[in-house]
Structure 1
Amino acid sequence: MKTAVYPGTFDPITYGHIDVIKKSLKMFDRLIVATTDNTDKNYFFSIEERLNIINHSLFKDLKLSRKKIKVISFDNLTIELCKKYNASAIIRGLRAVSDFEYEFQLAGMNKKLNSKIETMFLMSDVENQIISSKFVKEIANLGGNIDRFVTKYAVKMLRAKYQ
């Protein structure tokens, strides 16, 4: 069984992330969607809220298969997750050229840590490439319509936070 790990903050998960998840599922039998609780970052949603939004969005709103996707939190190296789940690849999403430099360096460091793990860069569909969790939160905070950027449940959770 080929397994990949898709790590990220998913604060909140967007349709851009979901495009990357769907594309990954075409290449791998199993995908570990892993949200980090890195203490160096200031998250809008708690780790519990992010896990809840990811699970609800993927399995209830979109009806994706629980047999192929496992949603977890982590606070260690992505390479360690790959070992734990016997994953052969790390999935990273790219939106724009500006993402590439950081992602390229991260992939290089991961390769140095474990040369058996490959990093795969995937882009979301064109209509979702401009979506970022940061912009979604800003639009929601200013009362804008975010229905085209996140699932129904994520919309509900964002609205509840800003009320």
Structure 2
Amino acid sequence: MRIGVYPGTFDPLTLGHLDIIRRGAQIVDRLIVGVTTNPSKSPMFAVHERIAMVRRELAAIGGDIGVVEFDSLLMDFAEREGASIIIRGLRAVADFEYEYQMAGMNQQLNDSIETVFLMADVSLQPIASRLVKEIARYGGKIDKFVPPAVAVDVARHLGAHLTAAK
């Protein structure tokens, strides 16, 4: 059985992420979506909220897709899950430069796990979680970038924080 891992913070989950998950699930027998913390990012949602968000949206996709939290080196996580493939989504040249460097480092850690890059659908390439959060914080509409329920989650989260800040 070929197992793939698609890691990310998914803060929040975007239509671009879902595109990569759908397509990634077609090239492996089992796909594990690894939801991680990233110390260099300031997450809007707690890990358990992001996991629930991803699971809810994946229910409509079907297939053998799991969602797992991890807080370790990606290669350690991939090994624990029995993965032979790491799936990474690319949007632009800047993504490629970073991902290429990461793939090289990961290969040095374990050369039996291959990194596969999938280009996001052209219509979804500009979408980035960071930008979605920024648009939402300033009251912009994000429904073109995230599933409807995620847009509600973001609005609810921002509303709670605005109320708490008063």
TM-score range for the pair, normalised by the shorter chain length:
over 0.9
Structure 1 residue runs of 5 or longer lacking an equivalent are: none
Contact 1:94 1:122 in 2 (8 A): yes
> Match for 2:153: what amino acid?
M
- State the TM-score, normalizing by the size of structure 2: 0.91
Match of 1:64 in 2: 61
Match of 1:142 in 2: 138
Tell me how far apart the structure 2 counterparts of residues 21 and 13 of structure 1 sit (CA, whole Å).
Answer: 11
Determine if the alignment matches structure 1 residue 41 to structure 2 residue 49.
no
- State the TM-score, normalizing by the size of structure 1: 0.93
16-25 or 36-45, larger mean C-alpha shift:
36-45
Match of 1:30 in 2: 30
TM-align CA RMSD: 1.2
Structure 2 residue runs of 5 or longer lacking an equivalent are: 160-166
> Match for 2:154: what amino acid?
L
Contact 1:4 1:28 in 2 (8 A): yes
21-30 or 38-47, larger mean C-alpha shift:
38-47
* Matching of residues 117-156 of structure 1 within 5 Å: 117-156=113-152
2:79 to 74, 78, 83: 83
Q: CA deviation at 1:81?
A: 1.7
Tell me how far apart the structure 1 counterparts of residues 12 and 158 of structure 2 sit (CA, whole Å).
Answer: 14
SS at match of 1:122: strand
Match of 2:16 in 1: 16
Q: What count of residue pairs does the alignment treat as equivalent?
A: 159
Q: CA deviation at 1:40?
A: 4.3
Identity %: 47
Q: CA deviation at 1:119?
A: 0.4
Query: Runs of 4+ in structure 1 displaced over 4 angstroms?
Result: none
